[in-house]
Amino acid sequence: MKRIGMLTSGGDCQALNAAMRGVVKGLSHGVDELEVYGFNNGYKGLIYGDYRLLTSSDFSGILTKGGTILGSSRQPFKLMRVPDENGLDKVEAMKQTYYKLNLDCLVILGGNGTQKTANLLREEGLNIIHLPKTIDNDIYGTDVTFGFQSAINVASQAIDCIHTTAASHNRVFIVEVMGHKVGWLTLYSGVASGADIILLPEIPYDINRVVEAIDNRTKAGKGFTILAVAEGAISKEDAALTKKEYKDKKKKSKYPSVSYEIADQITQRTGTEVRVTVPGHTQRGGSPCPYDRVLCTRLGAAAAQAILEEDYGYMIAMINGETKRVPLGEVSGKLKVVDPDCKMIREAKTIGISFGD
């Protein structure tokens, strides 16, 4: 008999269900008896004992279903050691739920914050397996996270659709892509969809260089320009501020996001009409693409194998096309960012894409 718990934490993405299915199918073919307890709404379910016993029917037909059948919530890592409003010790409560159900392992699907808490529970003595989920692709220690490719497809489709209307009206269009701290999604979708200017958090932009790139296209007879802008894009001036100064400036800003500020600056300098499109949460929604379905099936199967071997405390990563077990303690708390001098950036610049630097 194997008893495992599963939870999905943080922002949702398209392939969470596919990953859970991979784990359960892998275990089902490896043991005679299996009990799977699903915790509702992420760590909240583990803290407050909100769970249900899942059956094989729960995992039937969910390979192509987006979102998560368990629900999710954000439970900030920095507050995990802080008692709740009733004085409850959250970490101790999670441990007690784990021991009450006599679990052999807890499978946790989530991004960076989720991973930090997963590692905390590992340090507290629980058997943990982590599966790397995020459309941002910013988890250290794995080449790719599930949800990333599906989000690229959505963001690229949004930029593709902008091309025709931008060309029809000879306008400058900004498409704001998700990514507060890293620019992987903006970089890949921007290149995939032929964006002329790509602005990333890792490469602070100079608005004068952005305007220069637009002017150069106009002089070359190009009637429109498309910018793919990460929601965490930052100007060189703002990048020079302290975190507190920058946070205070954002609070006082009249703009809903950086894209609208950039649009206003472009209009003031060029007189050109600028439109902003924000795909928003559509990038996390819909069905997982075939790539993510395959990725999650492989990661899930690899997680199942680790559980069968009782080899715990790992993130299941994809490295050079192979699934690997990476110690949680080695990767937790680290962020995988875009290297401004990486080959992909250099190659994009070679074909004329501006990064505003």
Residues 115-165 have pLDDT tens digits of 999 999 999 999 999 999 999 999 999 999 999 999 999 999 999 999 888
- pLDDT over threshold 90, residue 208: yes
3-state secondary structure of 145: coil
The end-to-end CA distance of the chain, in Å, is 58
- Give residue limits of the domains in the chain: 2-147+288-331, 151-284
Looking at residue 30, what is its pLDDT? 84
Interatomic CA distance for residues 36 and 34, integer angstroms: 7
Residue 321's pLDDT band (cuts 50, 70, 90): very high
Q: Fold match between 2-147+288-331 and 151-284?
A: yes
Q: Does domain 151-284 have CATH number 3.90.70.10?
A: no
What is the mean pLDDT of the segment spanning 67-75?
Answer: 92
pTM of the full predicted structure?
0.94
What is the mean pLDDT of the segment spanning 291-313?
Answer: 97
Looking at residue 175, what is its pLDDT? 97
Maximum pairwise Cα distance, the chain: 71
**Helix and strand element counts for the chain (H, E):** 13, 11
Q: Could you report the per-residue pLDDT of 37-61, keeping only the tens digit for each? A: 999 999 999 999 999 999 989 999 9
3.40.50.10300, 3.40.50.720, 3.20.20.140, 3.40.50.450: CATH of 2-147+288-331: 3.40.50.450
Contact at 8 Å (CB) between 44 and 90? no
- pLDDT over threshold 80, residue 169: no
Q: Could you report the per-residue pLDDT of 231-254, keeping only the tens digit for each? A: 999 999 999 989 888 888 888 888
Q: Could you report the per-residue pLDDT of 258-281, keeping only the tens digit for each? A: 999 999 999 999 988 899 999 999
From 136, 138, 196, 292, active-site residue: 136
Q: Are strands 51-54 and 34-39 parallel, antiparallel or unpaired?
A: antiparallel
**Does 84 qualify as catalytic in the annotation?**
no
Residue 32's pLDDT band (cuts 50, 70, 90): confident
